[in-house]
Amino acid sequence: MPVPMYVFTGFLESGKTKFIQETLEDERFNAGERTLLLVLEEGEEEYDISTYPHKDVFIEKLDYEDLSVEKLQTLFKKHRAERVVAELNGMHTASDFYLKTPDDWMIAQEVMFADANTIMSYNANMRQLVYDKLAGAEMVVFNRMPLSADIMPYHELARSVNRKIDILYDYVDGHTQFDEIEDPLPFDLEAPIVEIGDEDYALFYRDITEESKKYEGKTIRFKGQVAKLRREKDGMFAPGRFVMTCCEADITFMGLPCKFVGANGLRPRSWVTVTATVEVKHHSLYKGVGPILTAVSVEGAEAPAQEVATF
């Protein structure tokens, strides 16, 4: 039976401990379930079990060097736990933790906390760590927000990484506000041919792979490089772009499988403009269901001004 795991990420003194403490004081969350609370970062705040409506919360403080599937399984059995709450260390990626969790531990929720006064500095100097936390979170809480703060830079920081993420602003006077800013796509999905600008490829790729169904039956046009598929070499190729999601170290080619009778004659890494229809079906590239293109036309093209696409 899957074990629900509630994960809280963010940098030191970002408010994780305070939020978890208040959550465990709430009977709606703490109704008596035996909870293994894993603490991988110690700040100034301390957990106080005496305030919880139910005391079946078992705190285990760990270093990342001590993490292993066996260690976590032992702790889970020791406390006869039913679920896991984890406070992660901001100087590690979430994958540092997830790779060492048992297979039956499933993420029920992941929330990031960020101090509004320091997160921009972290983003400028530790972009990869900030990106990691935003990318996996369902919600980000920007706390200690000054009352006069412009929320747009925070909105853009979060949504540039994760278009689906919920954003909550927690102000210094105690009131909170959800972000309700709409993020319209920079291309028209209702157009007869959906034209993807060179500067919009990264956003387009993320959107079509995350929300494939809304593209089904559409005709799209974009510029990309030719890549050949390893398994389907005849009548298929994968036009796409190299995309930098965070920093130069994570530049990755992101392409879409495309049916095209002339695929064999295309030169790898050459630039083409592809006009294609979209259907959503199973393909090994996705290890599941995803967008499959059928080319209407494939024409040679000049490379875009910026060859590596970004968000």
In b/e form, how buried is each residue of 48-69, taking b as 16+ CB within 10 angstroms?
eeeebeeebbbebebeeeebee
How far lies 190's CA from each of 93, 202, 207, 211, 255, in Å? 39, 20, 15, 15, 23
Q: How high is the pLDDT of residue 164?
A: 85
Average pLDDT over residues 52-80: 95
- Of all residues in the chain, what percent carry a pLDDT higher than 90? 84
Q: Give the pLDDT band (50/70/90) at residue 234.
A: confident
Q: How far apart are CA 26 and CA 45, in angstroms?
A: 18
Closest to 202 (Cα-Cα) out of 183, 182, 224: 224
Q: Give the pLDDT band (50/70/90) at residue 288.
A: confident
Q: How high is the pLDDT of residue 182?
A: 85
Contact 128, 158 (CB under 8 A): no
Q: How far apart are CA 48 and CA 221, in angstroms?
A: 57
Contact 310, 241 (CB under 8 A): no
Q: Give the pLDDT band (50/70/90) at residue 237.
A: very high
pTM of structure: 0.73
Closest to 224 (Cα-Cα) out of 183, 245, 251, 196: 196
**Placement of tokens 């074990």 in the chain:** 3
